[in-house]
């Protein structure tokens, strides 16, 4: 294992020999495309402005990937490059290194988009972003090359399994006993948070739970939604992002912060509301504002 770490450090040192302020800025921008804030804007954009079910699928796969990635890191407990050689670190990062969360998330997100949207340019863009985000983590000194390869490997496995998960997800949410669905969604976070409950885990599980409740409300009160023209979609996105800002940042200012009593509960509540807002609250509001059209109501 020491040999692998040494090889990884040598590789990072080699590519950092070509570093410049411009390259540093470029790869910091690229790596930000794998950060939480970017995905917090990407998924609503897909869901509200492109394809509701695409946004739901990609968002759920991403959140499940975050949960699994944190579990895998706890299992392997591998150091990051800067834990061994601090001077190579160019951006902030925390926790264990293997597998890379950025690499894993980029593969499941952009791989999902490329799979469900068949256009060649989308597939080419997805491959490019997956490669660039992975390389940026090496260049910035926060991951070994093996961390990136591991992230891609596990991301590929998750992506493959997700195909079977979503074959009947829409049908399952429309049909079946409502009481059983509510019980299932309610028990979901209780079970997962018994296994692991770090802040990132709380966020992903709470958002997944919120999406679950949101979908139940969506199918009960909306059914199907058709986005409006692109100007209406832009307005919808801006209105929706304001709601995200109120929940994500506004509540963060008034609810208990890390280290205070009830912090974990307040964090769960905040991300739960985010999931409900993105999957139901905002689409319902868009219809009421005339920015989107309710196509068909199913129960």
d(CA 256, CA 113): 36
**Among 91, 107, 111, 110, residue whose Cα is nearest residue 99:** 107
Torsion of the alpha carbons at 282, 283, 284 and 287, rounded to the nearest 10: 120
**What is the distance between the alpha carbons of residues 276 and 296, in angstroms, rounded to a whole number?**
20
Q: Which residue among the candidates 57, 90, 143, 270 is catalytic per the annotation?
A: 143
Q: Do 81 and 89 form a contact (C-beta atoms < 8 A)?
A: yes
Distances (CA, A) of 196 to 43, 67, 202, 274: 25, 9, 9, 21
CA distances from 53 to 57, 67, 125, 145, 197 (A): 6, 21, 21, 34, 28
Query: Residue 49, Cα to own-chain centre: how many angstroms?
Result: 18
Please tell me whether residue 109 adopts helix, strand or coil conformation. helix
Question: Residues of 151-180 as b/e, b for ≥16 C-beta within 10 angstroms?
Answer: bbebbeebbeebeeebeeeeeebeeeeeee
92 catalytic, yes or no? no
DSSP 8-state secondary structure symbol assigned to residue 1: -
- Catalytic site residue from 102, 137, 233, 267: 102
Whole-angstrom distance, CA of residue 34 vs CA of residue 81: 19
Rounded CA separation 25/283 (Å): 36
Q: Which of 91, 73, 52 is nearest to 223 (CA)?
A: 52
Report, as residue numbers or ranges, the catalytic residues.
102, 143
């Amino acid at each position: 294992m020491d040999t692998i770490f040494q090889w990884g450090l040598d590789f990072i040192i080699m590519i950092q020999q070509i570093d410049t302020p411009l390259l540093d800025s470029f790869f910091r921008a690229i790596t930000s495309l794998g950060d939480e804030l970017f995905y917090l804007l990407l998924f609503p954009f897909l869901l509200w402005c492109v394809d509701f079910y695409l946004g739901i699928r990609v968002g759920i796969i991403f959140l499940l990937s975050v949960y699994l990635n944190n579990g895998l890191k706890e299992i392997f407990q591998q150091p990051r490059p800067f834990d061994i050689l601090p001077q190579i670190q160019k951006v902030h990062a925390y926790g264990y290194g293997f597998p890379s969360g950025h690499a894993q998330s980029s593969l499941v997100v952009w791989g999902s988009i490329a799979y469900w949207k068949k256009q060649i340019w989308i597939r080419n863009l997805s491959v490019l972003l997956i490669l660039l985000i992975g390389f940026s983590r090496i260049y910035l000194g926060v991951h070994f090359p093996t961390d990136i390869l591991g992230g891609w490997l596990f991301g590929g496995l998750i992506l493959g399994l997700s195909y079977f998960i979503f074959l009947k997800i829409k049908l399952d949410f429309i049909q079946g006993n409502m009481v059983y669905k509510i019980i299932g969604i309610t028990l979901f976070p209780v079970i997962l948070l018994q296994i692991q409950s770090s802040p990132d885990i709380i966020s992903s599980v709470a958002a997944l739970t919120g999406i679950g409740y949101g979908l139940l409300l969506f199918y009960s009160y909306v059914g199907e939604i058709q986005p409006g023209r692109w100007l209406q979609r832009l307005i919808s996105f801006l209105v929706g992002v304001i709601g995200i800002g109120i929940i994500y940042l506004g509540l963060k200012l008034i609810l208990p912060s890390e280290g205070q009593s009830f912090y974990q509960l307040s964090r769960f509540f905040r991300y739960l509301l985010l999931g409900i807002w993105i999957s139901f609250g905002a689409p319902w509001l868009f219809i009421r504002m005339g920015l989107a059209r309710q196509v068909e109501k199913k129960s």
